Structure 1
C-alpha cells in the first residue's frame, strides 16, 4: 500500500521515514494523478482541519478517492464535540486518575505522537486516547476540578508546533508506527480486499468454532481477500481494512458494538452492522418491534423497576430474561409467585427493565439462519439433557451442556416457520440473523432474533459445507462496492452461480 504524508511545508519535515512520500496539501488537492491512485494510505498532518480549510478537504477528498485517510472527516468532527470529550473523561476515568496522580499543578498537557508520549508513565493513556481520536498528532489538556482530573480538550497539533526537543522521539515513534502496521506490508498480488475477522480467543462459547473460522479464512482467500483475525485491542486499526466480520458474541455496551460502529463510520462493510446489534441485543426492543408487527411471540410482559408487575397472566412456570441476555445466560425459569418476586427483585439490580415471558415447553427450538433476506440454513436445536434450555451452563458434565441438533434442508422445514423468520428479520435489516422459533400445534412463535448467529463447523454448515462461508463473504464484498463481484476470481465457475443465486 502506497503511503503519503500531507504536510503544509514538506521541506520542513526533515524526518527520515522509509517508504513514505511527503507532499503538500496543494499538491494532493490539485494534482489529478492522485485521484487515479488506488491502494493508498494518506496521513493528513495539515496545520488546520477546520471546516473548508485545505486540511479538511485533504481528508474529505481522500475518502472520495477511496484512499484510507488518517484522520478521517468523522475523526475531525469528533474532536470538536464537547460531549464526546466529556464521555472520554468518563470512559477513561480510572486510567486518567492513575496516570496523573503525581501531578501537583491544576493543569496538565499531554502530547501524543502516533499514539505515544515521550514519557513512559503516560504510555497507556496516550495509546487509549489515540484509539479514540485517530489523528497522528494530538494534544490533550487536563484540568483538576478540586476532586479529580478531567479532560478539558483534545486537539490536533500542527507539525510546526511540535517542540524541537520532541522531534527525535517523534521520528522514532513514526518509524515504529509505520513498521508495525499491517498496511506497511506488501499485500500479495492475488488479494483485492482486506477482511478483518473479530474474535475473542478467550470466549467460552464463541459464535464460530476454530474450524469454522478457518473455513471463513479459506473462503475469503479464494474470493480475493487478505484475512486477518483481530481482537478488541485492534480497535485503532479498523480503518486499515475494507470489511469487518464479527465472530465474537455481540452486545451494545461492549467493544463489539463500538468496533462495528467505528468500522461503519470508516466506510467498511460490516457484519454485524451496529444497527443490527442495537436492535437484536435488547429483548425489550424486540418485544415492542414484534408486537407492533403482529408477529406471534409467547405472551410477554415488560417489568419496570418502579412497578414490577406480577405474572398471573402468564401463569407458572414462566421465564425471566435480562434485556441483553444471550446464549441462555441471564435467563431463568420461575415456578411460583414467591420465586417470581425474589428473582425479579434480584435481576432488577442489573437492569431497570426485565422481560417476563410465557413458558413454552418444547423438545427443540427451530433456528432459521437468514442472510440478505434469504434462508441460509435451518436447524433444530434440542434441549440439553434434563434441562429446559438448549444450554445448561450448570451441568457438571461437559457433554451435557448443549443439546443435540439436526440440520435440515429448508425445503423440508415447515413453510410457516420459514415465513415468520423472514418476516421478523425484515424488521431488522438485510444482514446475517438467526431466528429462534418455537412451534406449538403447528403454529410458530418467535422467541428472539440473533444478530450474531452461530456458524459452527459440523453444525450450521452441515449441508452447505464451504458454500455457507462463501455466501457470507460474498455478501460482505457486495457491500464494499456494487461492482466488486465483477473482480472476483472465478473458482471453477462456482462464483457465477453463487452471484446469480445471491444477488
Structure 2
C-alpha cells in the first residue's frame, strides 16, 4: 500500500510527492477505509501536533491501527520534555560544535526536512536532530553560551517552510519514501519489516556478512522483509515492525539507545533493553546467578575497600573482570598479590565495582545458544594458541582458538539444562551461555546477549534452519502483536 501523507487540507497542499497518497486529517480519522492495512506508513504533516489536536490524533490512531506514523506519539511528547532536549544536546554535542563553529551569532535555527538541511555543511547535524526527534519537518533552535547547545525542537507545518525550499523538500521526501529493503525475486510478499542493525566497520561483529545474508534470506522466505541499517538509521525505527541487533551491544552505547527507542515504539526487539542491561554487566550476572543457586566458579564482587581481602578469599591465580567487558577484553588474570596494587587502580577508574572469579583453566568453553528458553545450537570454543582465553590480542591483531559445532542432542545434557536455566534468568530473548566443565561439573561463566552467529561456525550443523528458527521467533512475536 502507498504511504499516506496526512495534511490538514489537501486542496491547499502545494506539493506533489510521487509515490504517496495525499489525504486530509479528517478523512484519515473518520473514514474506515484508512483504518486498514497494518504496517502502512503514515507521514503526519499537519500544522499542529499539540495534545488533542487533529494532528495529535492522526499519530495516536495510526499507532492504534498498527500503522507506522512519523512522528510517533512518543516523539511528539519528546518535543516538550526538557530532559529529552538536554539528553539529545549532550548526545549531539560534538556534532553541534563542529557544524556551528562558523556561525557568528549566538542563536541559530536549523530546518530539517526528512533528515536533511538545504546547506550541505549542516546535513549531518540535521540527520542527528532527525534521529533524536523523528518527524518529517522540524525546526531546531541552538544557543551559544560558551559552547553551542540545543535548546528546543518542534515539528513545523509546510506553511513555515520557505517556498524556495519546496523543491528540496519534495526531493528529500521522495528519497525517503523510496527506501525499500531489497527482496529476492522468488520471495513472497512481505507482511512485516525487520531492521537489522549492524556495524560494517566492526573488527569482531556478532554476525559476519555471510550470516547477515542468510538472516535476510530466511526472513524473506517467511514474509519478513529485512533491511540492514547502521547507526544513522536511528530516526527510521518507526518504519519497522522489529529490530534485530547484530552489532556488539553495551549500555553506554548507541545499540542500547536503538533498543530503548525500538521498544518504546512497540517493535519486537532482539536484543531488548533489559537483556542488554543484564547481560552486559558482570556484577548483575554474578549476583543473579548466585541468588538463583546456578553453579558458577567462586566469585566475589570487588570494591576498592575490600579488594585485597576479596581476592585472597578467591585465591590466586584468579580472573579480574570489568563489569562491561566482552570478547575477552577487559578480563585479566592475576597471578600474585604484587599485582593487586599495580593492576587494580586503573580498573577502578572505570568502574567502582569489579568481579574477581576463581581461575578454572580448561581446553575449551561450551557455548549454548538459547532463544526464548530453547537451546538451538552448541559450540565448543577452544582457547587461542598459547593463551588461556578464546581470544588473544597482540600487535598483529586478534587471534581465536578453534571451534567445533554440534547438535543440541550431541552435547552433555547437564550443560544444556544449566545453560537454559541461566538464560531464563535474563529474559526470553536470544542468548549465548558460556560454560565450563570442571571436575565433571558444569558451571556457568556468563550469559551473553547478542551472541555470535557466524556463517561457517555456529550454523555448520544446522545450516539454514538456524536462521529460519530465529526468524520464526520474530514472526510469532509479530503475529502476537497483531492479535
Above 0.5 in TM-score?
Answer: yes
Aligned residue for 1:297, secondary structure, equals coil
Q: Would the alpha carbon gap of residues 191 and 173 (structure 1) be closer, same or farther in structure 2, given more than 3 Å must change? A: closer
Q: Deviations over 1:18-47 (max 9, x none)?
A: 122222211110011111234521111122
The aligned residue for residue 346 of structure 1 is 346
Structure 2 unpaired stretches of 5+: none
2: CA distance, partners of 1:407 / 1:166: 57
> Would the aligned equivalents of 1:3 and 1:41 in 2 still touch at CA under 8 Å?
yes
How many residues are matched?
A: 481
Which residue number in structure 1 is paired with residue 422 of structure 2?
Answer: 424
- 3-state DSSP class of the match of 2:466? helix
Tell me the equivalent position of 2:60: 60
Map of 1:248 onto structure 2 = 247
SS at match of 2:434: strand
Distance across 1 between alignment mates of 2:32 and 2:302: 61
- Map 1:344-423 to 2 at 5 A: 344-394=344-394, 396=396, 401-423=399-421
Cα distance change on mapping 1:484 and 1:222 into 2, 3 Å: farther
CA RMSD of aligned residues (A): 2.5
TM-score, with structure 1 as normaliser: 0.89
**Residue 12, structure 1, aligned to residue 12, structure 2:** yes
* CA pair 483-62 structure 1, distance change in 2 beyond 3 A: closer
Say whether the 8 Å CA contact 1:239–1:266 is kept in structure 2.
yes
Give 1:142's aligned residue.
142
| Structure 1 residue matching 2:459: 3-state secondary structure | coil
Label 1:412 to 1:101 Cα distance change in 2 as closer, same or farther (>3 A): closer
The 3-state SS of whatever aligns with 1:392 is: strand
Partners of 2:188 and 2:221 within 8 A in 1: no
Change (3 A) 1:334 1:483: closer
| Cα deviation, residue 453, structure 1 | 1.2
Query: Which among 448, 451, 458 is matched to residue 450 of structure 1?
Result: 448
Counterpart in the other structure of 2:152: 153
Shift in CA distance, 335/96, structure 1 to aligned 2, threshold 3 Å: same
Q: 1:410 to 1:72 in 2, by over 3 A?
A: same
Whether 1:175 aligns to 2:138 is no
Matches within 5 A, 1:91-130: 91-130=91-130
2:196 is the counterpart of 1:191: no
Indicate the larger mover: 315-324 or 195-204: 195-204
Q: Matched residues in 2 for 1:143 and 1:395: separation? A: 45
Corresponding residue number in structure 2 for 1:233: 232
Distance 1:194 1:404 in 2: 36
Contact 1:477/1:484 (8 A) holds in 2 = no
Q: Whole-Å Cα distance in 1 between the matches of residues 86 and 469 of structure 2?
A: 42
Deviates more, 1:80-89 or 1:37-46: 37-46
Alpha-carbon separation, structure 2, partners of 1:11 and 1:185: 36
> Can you give the 5+ residue segments of structure 1 that lack an aligned partner in the other structure?
486-503
User: Which residue matches 2:467?
Assistant: 469
